[in-house]
Amino acid sequence: KAGVTQTPRYLIKTRGQQVTLSCSPISGHRSVSWYQQTPGQGLQFLFEYFSETQRNKGNFPGRFSGRQFSNSRSEMNVSTLELGDSALYLCASSQPRNLADNEQFFGPGTRLTVL
């Protein structure tokens, strides 16, 4: 079974630009969560999509948005990039059948650098 894939793996943008990151979950997984990891703030939850609907949201400004398609693939978009948006963006997928099976599988991440 293929794992969670993220594209691109590396990205360099300049301030003010926008960026779109993509995540393909494990086949059959319907939940996709996005996280931002920075040295200063650590790993922080951005949002989660389940069956094309945003189910949970973290404390990030509206410049951060996402969506999920019918095949469960998800994209996140960051508009008007700021230097502080430089981070490793991780997505994770899950498909719990019961609480004991709750496990998030993480992708390798997209490293975004904003210049």
Give the residues lining the site for another protein (CB under 8 A): 4, 31, 33, 35, 42-45, 48, 50, 55-56, 58, 88, 90, 92, 94, 96, 99-100, 102-109, 111
Residue 23 Cβ vs another protein, minimum distance, rounded to whole Å: 11
Angle (CA) 103-106-110 rounded to 5° is 160
Angle (CA) 70-10-30 rounded to 5° is 20
- Cβ closer to another protein: 18 or 51? 51
Q: Assign residue 10 a region (left: φ > 0; alpha: ψ between -120 and 50; beta: otherwise).
A: beta
What is the phi/psi pair of residue 85, to 5°? -80, -5
Residue 31 Cβ vs another protein, minimum distance, rounded to whole Å: 5
Residue 80 Cβ vs another protein, minimum distance, rounded to whole Å: 25
- Cβ closer to another protein: 18 or 38? 38
Across the strands, what pairs with 112? 11, 87
